[in-house]
């Protein structure tokens, strides 16, 4: 192994905590959109751009820096990203404005680009073999969703239920700034052998390697799959709190908390996928999951029709759709880590940073597209109809998974023949 057992455990713990931190921040967009509408007095159309302020820096920074990351060092890159986002969090309650919210998400996106490329590339350095790679990938992605879940409840805890627009909710960012500082200290005390990631290529050649990867049919099939998956996940996750508030008529605090069911479903699904993928072929599991997602949309959204508001709304009186629709996360969960592992474990470790850069770029573009389109549809045709339209990218994702399976099988045969 590339490091001692103790260092390996410490490094994996630091990677998990880093991912949880960004899970909280990245998926707070839906909550922040709701709070910005109520607290800063902005429209839904204005709020819908927040996803782009988060995702476009992810895409740009990943594209520009992924090939250079092995030279900076994965551990140092994680520390740099956490330091940037920690400072941005500390400024949020001080400057308390919508423009600072945009700055925060720019910093979060840029920092996550550094962190994700580093974490995904480090998985290959800390594991041996495809099964171990897939297992650790699913575990880390599972803990990312635990961070998302924690974020819903942490943010809701700071919201004043009597006055949802009260800026007291911004005090949550003091807690997040302290968490970022603690993880930086843990990373500073960790060690990892990164020599296998340095292939000796010049920086320009490493950068061009990202373009060479796109030309590979396997990578192209993966990028289509990743784009479609993230488009679906972010369109649901970002706008679910607003759906709960405006369509299901839940109180603001309860709308945020109810959205955590989606995060619980994703976390449980990804942790379980680490076990299931050892026994079930990945393409069969993912195909069944996409079909189940579509069926759940067709089952849950009719339950949201004609829901009437109640002054004494609580968990016992909440409409069934508030519990059923977020369960779509159980079936979404295995898709993203599985397709990531398929493509990464098929490439040499020296190309993992460049490949992860492409993963992050296309994931960010998918997230921005999904959130923006869903936000516009929410404003024009209503939340229920907007979520029905997610069936189209689900159908395309099913075709993309079949294409990815075909190309991965072809790549395995080519390797076996050499």
Q: Mind listing the pLDDT tens digit for each residue in 284-301?
A: 889 999 999 999 988 888
User: Dihedral angle at the C-alpha atoms of 277, 279, 281, 285, nearest 10 degrees?
Assistant: -60
Higher pLDDT among residues 302 and 89, named by residue: 89
Q: Which residues, at least 6 apart from 124, have a Cβ–Cβ distance to it below 8 Å?
A: 133, 196, 197, 344, 345, 349, 352
Average pLDDT over residues 94-120: 90
Whether 325 contacts 296, CB under 8 Å? yes
Rounded to whole angstroms, the Cα distance separating 253 from 243 reads 13
State the pLDDT confidence band at 382, using cuts at 50, 70 and 90. Answer: low
State the pLDDT confidence band at 1, using cuts at 50, 70 and 90. Answer: very low
For residue 415, what pLDDT is reported? 57
Lowest mean pLDDT among 14-18, 27-31, 125-129, 389-393: 125-129
Whether 44 contacts 168, CB under 8 Å? no
Higher pLDDT among residues 291 and 309, named by residue: 291
* Other beta carbons less than 10 A from residue 312's beta carbon: 6
Angle among Cα 250, 141, 235 to the nearest 5 degrees reads 40
Q: What percentage of the chain carries pLDDT values higher than 70?
A: 90
For residue 383, what pLDDT is reported? 61
For residue 384, what pLDDT is reported? 65
* Other beta carbons less than 10 A from residue 360's beta carbon: 26
State the pLDDT confidence band at 104, using cuts at 50, 70 and 90. Answer: very high
Average pLDDT over residues 146-171: 81
Cβ-in-10-Å burial (0-12, 13-18, 19+) of 99 comes to: exposed
State the pLDDT confidence band at 417, using cuts at 50, 70 and 90. Answer: low
For residue 2, what pLDDT is reported? 43
Whether 192 contacts 126, CB under 8 Å? yes
Rounded to whole angstroms, the Cα distance separating 283 from 384 reads 30
Decide if pLDDT at 380 tops 80: no
This prediction has a pTM of 0.71
For residue 243, what pLDDT is reported? 80
**To the nearest whole number, what is the mean pLDDT of the chain?**
82
Distance from CA of residue 10 to its chain's centroid? 23
Whether 192 contacts 121, CB under 8 Å? no
Query: What is the per-residue pLDDT across 41-76, written as a single tens digit (0 to 9) for each?
Result: 787 777 777 877 887 888 788 777 766 777 778 899
Higher pLDDT among residues 272 and 88, named by residue: 88
Rounded to whole angstroms, the Cα distance separating 172 from 92 reads 9
Sequence-separated contacts (24+) of 163-170 with Cβ below 8 Å:
164/35, 164/38, 164/39, 164/252, 164/253, 165/35, 165/38, 165/39, 166/39, 167/39, 167/93, 167/96, 169/35, 169/39, 170/92, 170/93, 170/96
**Positive or negative: CA dihedral 96, 168, 37, 102:** positive
Query: What is the per-residue pLDDT across 332-378, written as a single tens digit (0 to 9) for each?
Result: 988 988 888 888 877 777 677 778 778 877 777 777 777 777 777 77
Higher pLDDT among residues 259 and 290, named by residue: 290
Lowest mean pLDDT among 30-34, 192-196, 315-319: 192-196
What angle do helix axes 98-126 and 74-95 make, rounded to 10 degrees?
Answer: 160
For residue 251, what pLDDT is reported? 82
Average pLDDT over residues 90-114: 91
Mean pLDDT highest for which of 177-186, 224-233, 241-250, 270-279? 177-186
């Amino acid at each position: 192994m590339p490091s001692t057992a103790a260092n390996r455990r410490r490094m994996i713990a630091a990677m998990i905590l880093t991912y949880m931190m960004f899970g909280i921040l990245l998926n707070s967009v839906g909550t922040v959109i709701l709070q910005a509408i109520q607290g800063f007095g902005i429209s839904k159309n204005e709020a819908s751009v927040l996803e782009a302020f988060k995702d476009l820096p992810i895409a740009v920074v990943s594209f520009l820096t992924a090939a250079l990351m092995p030279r900076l060092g994965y551990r140092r890159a994680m520390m740099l990203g956490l330091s940037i986002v920690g400072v941005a969090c500390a400024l949020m309650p001080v400057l308390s404005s919508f423009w600072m919210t945009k700055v925060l998400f720019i910093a979060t996106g840029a920092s996550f680009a550094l962190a994700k490329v580093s974490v995904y590339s480090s998985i290959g350095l800390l594991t041996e073999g495809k099964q171990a790679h897939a297992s650790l990938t699913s575990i880390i992605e599972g803990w990312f969703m635990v961070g998302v879940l924690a974020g819903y409840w942490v943010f809701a805890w700071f919201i004043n239920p009597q006055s949802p627009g009260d800026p007291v909710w911004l005090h949550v960012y003091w807690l997040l700034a302290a968490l970022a500082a603690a993880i930086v200290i843990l990373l500073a005390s960790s060690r990892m052998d990164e020599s296998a990631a340095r292939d000796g290529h010049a920086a320009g050649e490493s950068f061009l390697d990202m373009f060479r990867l796109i030309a590979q049919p396997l990578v192209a099939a993966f990028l289509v799959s990743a784009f479609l998956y993230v488009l679906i996940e972010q369109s649901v996750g970002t706008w679910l709190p607003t759906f709960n508030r405006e369509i299901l008529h839940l109180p603001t605090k309860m709308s945020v908390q109810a959205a955590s069911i989606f995060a619980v479903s994703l976390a449980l699904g990804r942790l379980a996928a680490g076990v299931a993928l050892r026994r079930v072929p990945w393409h069969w599991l993912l195909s069944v999951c996409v079909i189940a997602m579509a069926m759940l949309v067709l089952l849950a959204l009719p339950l949201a029709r004609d829901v009437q508001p109640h002054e004494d709304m609580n968990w016992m009186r909440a409409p069934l759709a508030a519990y059923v629709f977020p369960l779509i996360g159980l079936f979404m969960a295995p898709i993203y880590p599985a397709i990531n592992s398929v493509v990464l474990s098929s490439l040499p470790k020296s190309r993992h940073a460049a490949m992860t850069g492409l993963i992050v770029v296309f994931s960010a573009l998918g997230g921005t597209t999904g959130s923006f389109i869903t936000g516009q549809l929410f404003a024009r045709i209503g939340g229920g109809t907007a979520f029905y339209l997610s069936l189209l990218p689900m159908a395309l994702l099913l075709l993309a998974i079949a294409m990815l399976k075909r190309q991965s099988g072809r790549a395995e045969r080519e390797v076996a023949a050499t």
